[in-house]
Structure 1
Amino acid sequence: MMKEINLENKITVITGASSGIGAEIAIEAARKNSDVVLIARDIQKLQHVQARIKQVSDSDVILISADMSNPDIIEQVYKKMKSKIDRFDYLVNAAGFGDFDSFFDMSMTKAQSMFDLNVMGLMYFTRLIGRDMMKVGSGKIINLGSVAGKIPTPKSAVYSATKAAVIQFSNVLRLELAPFDVKVMTVNPGPVSTNFFNIADKNGHYVENVGSFMLEPDELAQKVVSHFEDSKKELTLPFSLNLASKFYLLFPMIGDYIIMKWGDKK
């Protein structure tokens, strides 16, 4: 059973907030009375999320349209937020995309774009917000990793590499921020029923094959937000894939055999 929390007088910043996991986390945080800053490229989609928030909460909502893969724009986003608010209690880095394709068939331009958004953009923004959290001695950073960053599967080399980078970056960041009482949590979901797969899974085969593991974004968001105020370091869901990731860490050769025989669902 998830614990009840009240985030009144708190401020949550969410990237990738226009749809999917980011949007649902924004709505759930607002439902718990946090004011929210929603960041994504598509302002119309952000406005739609804002309208959904207003149906369940009186929280203040700030919308910022931005490409979070561009360092110069990230700097502008930070300055814009600082002109409106004086602190950041929670940062949720949910912006990202994937593409399920053989590494040797994927263009390196797309691979670069994936790293620019999923990894470098996250790092640039975390660096800015994290410094503010260090100054006040509080805050929590929640980074969206993935089970793909823990368990390898064919046709996800670049995406898995970005998420493995996010996971390990978060692990080290947690150690560096601990003396400042700033917490870091990594969220590593398996497949989630969002429009992520409109890009990643063009033929629809993967979604068909992993239906039994598919998470609903609103339920995932509830679990994520329920840990905003505690010291949980990692949330990997569903439970079955969390166990699988631990098994793979201990027995990688057996894990590779199982994945090659039964796990190539893309």
Structure 2
Amino acid sequence: MLKDKVVVITGASSGIGLLTARLLSEEGAVPILAARSRQKLAEASSGIAGKHEIKVLDVTREDQVKQMINEIIADHGQIDILLNNAGYGQFESIVDMPSEEFGRMMDVNYMGIVRCTKAVLPHMLGRGSGRIVNVASMAGKIGTAKSTAYTATKHAVLGFSNALRQELRGTGVTVSTVNPGPIDTPFFELADPAGGYTSNVKWLMMKPEYVARKIVRFMDSGKEELNLPLKAAAAMRFYQLCPRLADRLTYRMMNKK
């Protein structure tokens, strides 16, 4: 049951983070929406009728992360779930993308998760309970052209999550990952400003409401991994079992950016 659970959500001012917060509020949970823009957070807050809070947070700032987590624990006495959702992508060929952008993307998408997780873990371990849900991506399982930087960050998220899950076994703290394919959210305004990729993958594009509902149910399930869309889960498994064959068979189909 999610009622009265305190759920911290990063990257919550729009898209999946915001929709998940709305659904959690409807379930009687207490979502804490965290994002960089105070204005966007205020706009997001106006659309949530139930109990919730907003926190201005830059996940690249360790001092801000620690301060936010400490404030929430002081105010609520607990953090039950951390949804590490903050992240962004840019799709460019490796020769065109500056090396600095690789670092910036890794700092947000991967190190942001590390900072938030490290900040909340002592509290969860002390209580002997807690749930960390990291939003990775289908890209973390299947690499595609023109997404070297983004794919690398999501591979890092999956590797971190899988290793941490083993480290925390028996502590009462669980670690799970969500691996969605393309979702119709503002993510693509930066990742694909020309719209070519989104046009090419319309058949696979998921509605954000569908993904948010799946995430909320997933939080309540205790399962370790959620792959979306469901029809892509088999393809991910095939790729991991036979990567060279899968590359040869799917190169043209996957090269949509």
TM-score bracket relative to the smaller structure: over 0.9
1:102 aligns with 2:130: no
1:236 aligns with 2:233: no
Structure 1 residue aligned with 2:149: 158
Output aligned runs, 1:74-223, within 5 Å.
74-223=65-214
Q: Which runs of 5+ in 2 are unaligned?
A: none
Deviations 1:157-202 (A, max 9, x none): 0100100110111111111122111111100000000000000012
Q: Which runs of 5+ in 1 are unaligned?
A: 1-5
Whole-Å separation in 2 of the counterparts to 1:103 and 1:72:
32
Structure 2 residue aligned with 1:39: 34
Structure 1 residue aligned with 2:10: 15
Q: Percent identity between the aligned chains? A: 39
Tell me if the contact between 1:27 and 1:49 (Cα under 8 Å) persists in the aligned partners. no
Tell me if the contact between 2:73 and 2:79 (Cα under 8 Å) persists in the aligned partners. no
User: Among 20, 24, 39, which residue is 1:29 paired with?
Assistant: 24
Deviations 1:182-228 (A, max 9, x none): 11110000000000000001211110011111111111111111122
Structure 1 residue aligned with 2:59: 68
Whole-Å separation in 2 of the counterparts to 1:184 and 1:123:
13
Whole-Å separation in 2 of the counterparts to 1:143 and 1:94:
7
User: Among 44, 49, 59, which residue is 2:44 paired with?
Assistant: 49
Tell me if the contact between 2:141 and 2:236 (Cα under 8 Å) persists in the aligned partners. yes
Whole-Å separation in 1 of the counterparts to 2:162 and 2:220:
18
TM-score (norm 1): 0.93
Whole-Å separation in 2 of the counterparts to 1:138 and 1:263:
40
Whole-Å separation in 2 of the counterparts to 1:90 and 1:81:
12
Paired residue total: 257
Q: Shift of residue 72 of structure 1? A: 2.2
Tell me if the contact between 2:218 and 2:226 (Cα under 8 Å) persists in the aligned partners. no
Tell me if the contact between 1:102 and 1:155 (Cα under 8 Å) persists in the aligned partners. yes
- Give the 4+ runs in structure 1 shifted more than 3 A: none
Tell me if the contact between 1:154 and 1:264 (Cα under 8 Å) persists in the aligned partners. yes
